[in-house]
Amino acid sequence: ESAMARWPRQVAAVIVEPVAGNMGVVPPLAGFLAGLREMTRDSESLLIFDEVITGFRVARGGAQELYGVTPDLTCLGKVLGGGLPIGGYGGRREIMEQVAPAGPVYQAGTLSGNPLAVAAGLATLDALDDSIYRQLESVGARVAAELASAAAAAGVPLTVNRVGSMLTAFFAAGAITEYATAKQSDTAQFAAWFRSLLARGVSIPPSQFEAAFLSTAHDDDAITFLHSKLEESFTSLLASTTT
């Protein structure tokens, strides 16, 4: 906002992850994305969403569908490739028509339109329907609730942030709403918990500030197994810090 005020109508673009995923999962505060949309529109700047993580994951239309805010440009990857390396972008017609062959901006790459990745991506997108997202929401809500319950039972301060099937368990007592509060997490305690879970057959991302993702492969048996290990992992963690 201060940059917009200092350089009126000179800021080319604002790029943002609509749901932060590279400091752990941090959802946008109410009105934040809509505020960015209004601000960039008023200043004639582009609003660009980095939906490499959230695209096709939190909804078929990504975070912009989930939160009802449409950017000018969107960056995509990950799910778009169905497990194979890929990147993509898209946006408003008048912007995309500036790119060759319709417009003067030339854009190409050695692997542009790679047929294997594109075929895998199209097959994945064809498989994504409303039932998939209902399943992912159900599994995500269940895991988040079980994390919070197991930590509370063991007396371990924990804040679980979740959007759909992506979540982070922060070893902190208060709300995690931005980078500053995320950095207050107890990373040493997280590392000990990571090792405790790994010893019990549960593999999670090894960093406190890395998002965890659930998928349709995480069936009832997998979630039941996780549940059976959670309280034990938190209890052993508490015991190790008091000895």
pLDDT in tens, the chain (243 residues): 899 999 999 999 999 999 999 999 999 999 999 999 999 999 999 999 999 999 999 999 999 999 999 999 999 999 999 999 999 999 999 999 999 999 999 988 888 889 999 999 999 999 999 999 999 999 999 999 999 999 999 999 999 999 999 999 999 999 999 999 999 999 999 999 999 999 999 999 999 999 999 999 999 999 999 999 999 999 998 776 655
- Cα separation of 188 and 186, whole Å? 6
- The CATH number that domain 130-241 falls under is 3.90.1150.10
CATH classification of 2-127 is 3.40.640.10, yes or no?
A: yes
Q: Please give the helix or strand (H or E) that residue 170 lies within, else none.
A: strand 166-170
Helix (H) / strand (E) element for 162: namely: strand 159-163
Phi-psi region of 242 (alpha: psi -120 to 50; beta: other; left: phi over 0): alpha
Domain layout of the chain by residue ranges: 2-127, 130-241
d(CA 143, CA 123): 28
Note the pTM of the prediction, 2 decimals. 0.93
